[in-house]
Amino acid sequence: MNNEARFWDKRAEKYSQRPVADQNTYEKKLEITRTYFRPDSEVLEIGCGTGSTALAHAPYVKHILATDISPGMINIIHRGHEA
């Protein structure tokens, strides 16, 4: 595992518990991004962190593949998806 992945693995749990700094702006960005989606869209998100954006967009597309260098972050995505 490289240094960047270890860095984010150590911080993944704490990072996942932090609220979005500006929720209104985040929601607006999600809305803007969704204008580009179609029901048959296939999306690749690189550097997805805890996957919150990928999970928010998933209902609007055919398929979304979210990746990150941190296995700790990916584990959080899976927990969120199972909930």
Domain ranges, ordered by start, for the chain: 3-82
Burial class (CB in 10 A: 0-12, 13-18, 19+), 28: exposed
C-alpha span between 24 and 40 (Å, rounded): 28
Taking residues 66-75, report their average pLDDT.
Answer: 94
Answer whether residue 60 shows pLDDT above 90.
Answer: yes
Answer whether residue 45 shows pLDDT above 80.
Answer: yes
pTM listed for this prediction: 0.82
CATH number of 3-82: 3.40.50.150
**77: CB partners within 8 A, 6+ apart:** 48, 50, 51, 54, 55, 66, 68
**Contact between 73 and 51 (Cβ < 8 Å):** yes
Locate 52 and state its tokens. Answer: 């919150």
Query: To the nearest whole number, what is the mean pLDDT of the chain?
Result: 92
Using pLDDT thresholds of 50, 70 and 90, give the confidence band for residue 77: confident
